[in-house]
Structures are given as C-alpha cells and as structure tokens.
Amino acid sequence: MVATYPEGFMRIVFNPTAGGARRPALERALAALRGAGLHPELLATEAPGHAEVLARAARPGEIVVAAGGDGTIAEVAAGIAGSGAVLGILPLGTANVLAREVGLPLDPVAAAAALAAGPEVRLHAGLARGASGTRLFVQMVGAGFDAAVVHALPLTLKRRLGRGAYVLQSLRETIRHRFAPIRVQADDDPPFEAASAIVTKGRLYAGPFTVAPGADPARPGFTLVTFDHGGAPAALLAGAALPLGLIPRLPGVRLRRVARVTLDGEGVPAQADGDAAGFLPLTITALPAPIPLRLGFGARGTLAAPARVPA
C-alpha cells in the first residue's frame, strides 16, 4: 500500500547531539508548526550518516527539515538531492553558519514560522570527493589547521562549551599542529602551496564571522581562501582577526572565485561543514543541480532572507 500524508506534512530530521540539550527548543518549534496548521513528523538520527538515510524517503515537493547544525543540514541535503524535495532548516546546532548566511532567525519559534510559508531559493551545494567517498557540503570545506581542530575536538567538550570549545581546541592545536604544506590546484591555474585552505560557498565562518565577503550560497561556484603562512604566530593572528572580520586583510591571505579545487597534502586533515571529513586529497566540485531551500517569513512577517539572496 502506498503511504498517504495529510496536506502540510513535513519531516523533521533531528540530531539529538547537535549543540547539546536542544530538545526544549525543538518542542517549541514543533508546537509553532502545529499551530500554523502543519503536520511535522519527528525523525531522530542515531549515528553519523543516518540523517541522509532518513531524508531519502522524501517525495517531490515535500519539505524535509534539518533540525540541528550544519552537518545535519548537509546530510539531509545529500538525502534529498535530485529528488525534488525541499530543504528546510531549524537551526539547533553550535554555530548555525548556513542559517545565519541566508538570514534565518535563530530563535526556534521564529525559525518555525519561516518554514510555514514560502519563498524558496536555490541552494548551490558542493561535493568533496576523496579516498573515503563523496561528501555533499552546504557551506564549506577546510583543510589544515581548522580541520585539525575539528578532528581533535572532544564531543563532550563541544556539548559543554558550544562555540567556546572550538576556541579552546584552537589554542591546543596552535601548539601541536605541524602545518604540513597543502598543494592547491584551482581551475586551470598553476598549482601552488598553502599552509591552510578553506573552500566556501558563503561569506561566514564559525558562526557570524566573515571570511569571504561577497560569497553567496545561492550562486554557483566557490570562494577559495588560502593562507600562505603557517605556525603558531600566524594561527594566533588569524584567531584574533576572525571576530573582527579582518581575515581577508591579513598578510598572506588570498581570495579568489573558483569552480573546481583539488587539495592535496600528506596527512593533512579535512573538515566539511564543521565535521571531520577524512584526509587529503580532495577534489571539490559543484553539485550538478541546486537544492530548493525554504526560507519563508519571520515571526513579524518580514522576509527572513536578506535581499541579496535571489529567489
């Protein structure tokens, strides 16, 4: 028998570990959705990769909501890619970079209101191909120092301190990270070496901090951010510049628009949307077709997305 669903049916894929104890916020969001006449079905993930499996059951036109952080959003997006289903976001993670990027409210009730009514935009995601397989990402891939922080960060510390855990782990990695050289091949340009690299869809990094002004996840292509200088002094300088929005102005930092990037380096770790993503080499390309993303209207009836995001 083919399953039938009521009008306004919506799957909510929830990562119970994202950002710590977020169940009360989720319950408030669910109550707001029901109050708007929607029918949310809650599906809890049990392991890494499970959100993608749960999202694969979606039908064309159905809204599948990622309730968690950027890693959960990426898994849900991978599950619905090419299906005609629509991605929604309830930002319940630690940094919520993509939600901030597209202007969604971080309050769970206001975010739920944004899911209750259009419009939709086209999210141009990326693919990172490596020895361990292909991974979809919605915001960024990093290689080098920031990925070393993600690889070594204890989950218990992340749950307890939130974004502060990344600051503490960054200080630890400043002392012990070896900054092995990364070979960067961008489009058809000559290859070059960097100490660290970030391939980003959007302008934001680690929450509200700008690293790539002008970048837009609703636009094809990537911004490649490379750091020429490694070592503890450069890492500390970057850490101080990040909250001030000064990363693009640092000496040895280069930004360029690219369509394809290959990163290679012996033993260099990688991260995708804040989750460990194995080691280099990685080849980064665009997802063949964009994913519909529901933005909607905020709690006061104003458009949640900034005007720069095209419909």
Each residue's pLDDT expressed in tens, for the chain with a length of 311 residues: 345 566 788 999 998 765 556 889 999 999 999 998 889 999 999 998 999 999 999 999 999 999 999 999 999 999 999 999 999 999 998 889 999 999 898 998 888 888 876 678 899 999 999 988 999 999 999 999 999 999 988 877 777 877 778 888 888 888 888 999 999 999 999 999 999 999 999 999 999 999 999 999 989 999 999 999 999 999 999 999 999 999 999 999 999 999 999 999 999 999 999 999 999 999 999 999 999 999 753 333 332 333 333 33
82 closest CA partner among 292, 241, 250, 297? 292
> The domain spanning residue 120 has which CATH number?
3.40.50.10330
Q: Both 120 and 188 in a single domain?
A: no
**Three-class DSSP category at 231:** coil
Task: Give the pLDDT score at 21.
Answer: 62
Two tokens at 231?
A: 């070592």
Can you tell me the distance from the alpha carbon of 112 to that of 251, in angstroms, rounded to the nearest whole number?
42
> The domain spanning residue 146 has which CATH number?
2.60.200.40
Q: Both 280 and 164 in a single domain?
A: yes
7 closest CA partner among 44, 36, 43? 36
Cα–Cα separations (whole angstroms), residue 26 to 89, 105, 112, 169? 12, 14, 10, 28
Can you tell me the distance from the alpha carbon of 311 to that of 305, in angstroms, rounded to the nearest whole number?
10
Q: Both 109 and 136 in a single domain?
A: no
Q: Both 119 and 134 in a single domain?
A: no
Q: Both 170 and 269 in a single domain?
A: yes
DSSP track, 74-125? HHHHHHHTTTT-EEEEEE-SSS-HHHHHTT--SSHHHHHHHHSS--EEEE--
Q: Both 137 and 245 in a single domain?
A: yes
Structurally, the chain folds into a number of domains equal to 2
**Three-class DSSP category at 13:** strand
**What is the pTM for the complete model shown?**
0.90
101-103-108-113 Cα dihedral, nearest 10 degrees: -140
CB 96 within 8 A of CB 73: no
Task: Give the pLDDT score at 5.
Answer: 64
Q: Both 143 and 276 in a single domain?
A: yes
Q: Both 113 and 229 in a single domain?
A: no
Count how many residues are written for the chain: 311
Q: Does residue 303 fall inside a structural domain?
A: no
Cα–Cα separations (whole angstroms), residue 195 to 93, 146, 150, 279? 29, 11, 17, 15
Q: Both 78 and 135 in a single domain?
A: no
Task: Give the pLDDT score at 139.
Answer: 96
**Three-class DSSP category at 232:** helix
Burial zone of 160 (CB within 10 Å; 0-12 exposed, 13-18 middle, 19+ buried): exposed
Q: Both 149 and 75 in a single domain?
A: no
Task: Give the pLDDT score at 295.
Answer: 79
CB 162 within 8 A of CB 94: yes
Q: Both 43 and 148 in a single domain?
A: no
109 closest CA partner among 91, 94, 95? 91
Q: Which domain holds residue 60?
A: 9-124+289-294
